Amino acid sequence: MPGQKNVTVFAMACHPDDIEFMMGGTLFLLKAAGCSLHYMNLANGCCGSTELSREETARVRRLEGRNAAQMIGAVFHESLADDLEVFYGPELIAKVTSVVRQIRPDIMLLPSPEDYMEDHMNTCRIGVTAAFSRCVPSYPGDPPAEATYQDVILYHALPYGLRDALRRPVLPDFTIDITSVIDDKERMLACHDSQKAWLDQTQGLNSYLQTMRDMSAEVAASAGMQGYAEGWRRHSHLGFSAVETDPLSELLERYCTARVG
């Protein structure tokens, strides 16, 4: 896949700021490598405020997401569900399948299958099934869209907090050194200014920007690296690609460190 004229990357997470927290540095490096980027928050963030109404919160967080996508030069895709209504069911699978068929990604970046929050895990499952369904012509999608048959390789980010719901560490297959773009990642996350007060009030975070740096530093340290990193796990290629390939590691080879053991 590296060496093609253009590689299309689709990053889909659940809430506005999830992409920035766990995928943002990798996206900046992929953009520098010449990839075309697509950005989607499956949920609209409507519950992410203790002060604003649902409607106003969703409006503000949509604008913040658009600003973040613009900062990284990504195509912005609209959210499809309210917060806490991201369920693994036919409605969202059909809608996301049509988005995948529209984008025709070579690489999909998705949340971890294990996470502290159901919305995140359901987003992961929906993304995986939508990628699988892209090439099933008898599955129409919503709105109906023609099946596509390009290979797509799926990668899972680490969960927020780097642990599953039972506090067990989730270890990556490999890490990407994002030290050179950590300031860019912070500026991208800072687009979601509405979340500082929300996270401080509801999750006891001293500063969401510092929390992001601390997690990125922890990922790097666990790989024996200095600086900052993001971790990734590669999904099985079965059902998604004719051959087993690892384009993310190849595209970002100079930044990549494989886990030993």
User: Mind listing the pLDDT tens digit for each residue in 197-236?
Assistant: 766 676 666 588 889 999 999 999 999 999 999 999 999 9
pLDDT value for 48:
86
In a domain, 55, yes or no: yes
pLDDT at 194 (0 to 100) = 87
Q: In angstroms, rounded to a whole number, what is the distance separating the alpha carbons of residues 242 and 30?
A: 23
For residue 47, how many other CB atoms are within 10 A of its CB?
Answer: 18
**What pLDDT is attached to residue 139?**
97
Domain-embedded: residue 21 = yes
Provide the CATH number for the domain around residue 158. Answer: 3.40.50.10320
In a domain, 2, yes or no: no
Indicate whether 170 belongs to any domain: yes
Give the residue from 254, 236, 246 showing the smallest Cα distance to 107: 246
Please report the pLDDT score of residue 208 as a whole number: 85
Residue 3 in domain: no
The total domain count for the chain is 1
Which residues does the chain have with pLDDT short of 70? 1-5, 198-200, 202-206, 259-261
Q: Quote the domain boundaries for residue 232.
A: 8-258
Integer Cα distance of 140 and 117 in angstroms: 30
Residue 1 lies in a domain: no
Does a structural domain hold residue 243? yes
Per the structure block, which two tokens stand in for 200?
């401080």
